Amino acid sequence: MSLAIPATPERKFGAPLAAAGLLLLGALFLAQAVSGRQALLFLVGGALGLTLYHAAFGFTSAWRVFIREQRGAGLRAQMVMLALAVLLFFPALSAGTLFGAPVKGLVSPAGTSVVFGAFIFGIGMQLGGGCASGTLFTVGGGNARMLATLLFFIVGSVLATQHIGWWFALPSLPPTSIVQSLGLFPALAVSLALFAGIAALSVVLERRRHGVLEMIGSDGQHGVGRLWRGPWPLVWGAVALALLNFATLALAGRPWGVTSAFALWGAKAFEGLGIAVHDWAFWQAEANARALAAPVWQDVTSVMDFGIILGALLAAGLAGRFAPSLKIPARSLLAAVIGGLLLGYGARLAYGCNIGAYFSGIASGSLHGWLWLVAAFFGNALGVRLRPLFFPAEREAPRLTGC
């Protein structure tokens, strides 16, 4: 889904001023109501949203372009992001502490639920028009269609919690961290070799198909202003996302996640409608019951998600691209509904999304992160084949966009 960037953006200050004001007020409120650390995590979320928008760092379009056209710039940027992340994360996770505070990775079982959940999540990425992070930052950037994707992402997430016990009981390997099982340096060597192999394969396939590699981000814009107004080269986004995820690890004691908050928001909404979600086994677990009963601003993931939306709004305003439109074709809206449900349901089954399972899972050394990558890639391949049913214009070659 393109961000519909105008050729000559007209900069208006309402959106960026509103976003900056809300970020400041939100941080002050969180510092008083929760803690200074929670306020900092909210601002890290804002920085993530600004980064995702300005770098147009999309997982969905990067995979779609690679699947259809063997253009691999977006995929290679993801490998740069992951390589820097493991270099930062693995030593801290091996030691168990970071700056004197305990830290742990997102390490989950690798099994049937991950395979199925990641596969349908991959389909949902292509139909919904974005991944978890992509949905949030495009909503913040003013993409009205992605509001529908987000709404049904939330619905799918909470519905999955009703059945999740059955899915998690299916065959799986126990949670496995290669940092713990192989040791720090072998785990680094294996991970970096895999990233290099994936990047090299994308280069070979792109050159075989097109003769030369596509240059991304060479738009002639330079200077300090580019940092605030964008657009950024993909590699800037890759580096910034890895550093901000590391900041999340330092502040929250665990890596960046996105979609657990969607299930929480949906559960609170269902409770408000009189549906006794608190009776479901998932929400009777101690940590989940506590989160359901507490105000949403006490949840780290929710606070960071709100920050991402506001950070993207700030970036869109600074770039002069905040121009929401409610003109959404019916078939595109239907794809958003179906895609959102698949995204939400799949993320819960797979112990996370493209951030919590793929990015942070692999950065944590979790085997389930690699299993997620493979299953989601096949889901994306099917989703790419289904997209022309909902987006007739996509019978043409796709291009790299921000979601």
For the segment 288-345, what is each residue's pLDDT rounded down to a tens digit? Answer: 999 999 999 999 999 999 999 999 999 999 988 877 878 889 999 999 999 999 999 9
CA neighbor of 47 nearest in space, from 275, 227, 194, 273: 227
Q: Mean pLDDT over all residues of the chain?
A: 92
- Segment 53-62 mean pLDDT: 91
Residue 73 resides in a domain:
yes
pLDDT of res. 392 = 87
Q: What is the mean pLDDT of residues 91-118?
A: 97
- Does residue 260 surpass a pLDDT of 50? yes
Inform me whether the pLDDT recorded for 399 exceeds 60. no
Average pLDDT of the segment spanning 58-72: 93
Give dist(CA 296, CA 8) in Å, integer. 39
User: Cα–chain-centroid distance for residue 33?
Assistant: 27
User: What is the percent of the chain with per-residue pLDDT over 90, rounded to a whole number?
Assistant: 82
CA distance 254 to 148: 30
If we measure between CA atoms, which residue out of 76, 23, 10 comes closest to residue 237?
76
What is the secondary structure of 204-244 as a DSSP string?
A: HHHHHHHSSPPP-S-SS--STHHHHH-PPPHHHHHHHHHHH
Domain that holds residue 233: 14-212+226-392
pLDDT in tens, 196-250: 999 999 999 999 999 999 876 545 456 666 777 778 999 999 999 999 999 999 9
C-alpha 118/C-alpha 124 separation (Å) is 10
- In the predicted structure, residue 6 carries a pLDDT above the cut 60: no
Angle subtended at Cα 163 by Cα 107 and Cα 110, rounded to the nearest 5 degrees? 25
Q: Which residue has the higher pLDDT, 388 or 322?
A: 388
Report helix, strand and coil shares of the chain as percent, to nearest 5: 70, 0, 25
Provide the pLDDT confidence category of residue 375 given band limits of 50, 70 and 90. Answer: very high
Domains identified in the chain, total number: 1
8 has a pLDDT exceeding 50: no
Give CA–CA dist 354/369, Å, rounded. 9
d(CA 28, CA 14): 21
Q: Are 178 and 365 in contact (CB under 8 A)?
A: yes
Task: State how far the Cα of 259 lies from the Cα of 357, in Å rounded to an integer.
Answer: 10
Residue indicated by tokens 């040791």? 183
Question: Environment class of residue 234 by beta-carbon count within 10 Å: exposed (0-12), middle (13-18) or buried (19+)?
Answer: buried
Residue 398 in domain: no
DSSP 8-state code for residue 279: G
Q: Is beta strand 97-98 parallel, antiparallel or unpaired with respect to 101-102?
A: antiparallel
What is the average pLDDT across 371-396?
A: 92
Write out the E strands in 118-231: 172-173
| pLDDT at residue 218 in the model | 46
Given a cut of 70, is residue 4 above it in pLDDT? no
Query: Other CB atoms closer than 10 Å to residue 77's CB: what's the count?
Result: 25
Confirm whether 136 is domain-assigned. yes
**Residue 400 resides in a domain:** no
Residue type, 92: A
Integer Cα distance of 353 and 40 in angstroms: 23
- Beta carbons of 194 and 365 less than 8 angstroms apart: no
DSSP code of residue 13: S
Give the up-direction half-sphere exposure of residue 206: CA atoms within 13 A in the CB hemisphere.
18
Alpha-carbon dihedral sign for residues 265, 267, 270, 274: negative
Per-residue pLDDT tens over the stretch 341-367: 999 999 999 999 999 999 999 999 999
Tokens standing for residue 35: 């803690």
Residue written as token pair 């290679």: 76
* Exposure of 158 in the CB half-sphere (CA atoms within 13 A): 21
Quote the CA–CA distance of 133 and 354 in Å, as a whole number.
8
* 5 domain-assigned: no
pLDDT on residue 223: 61
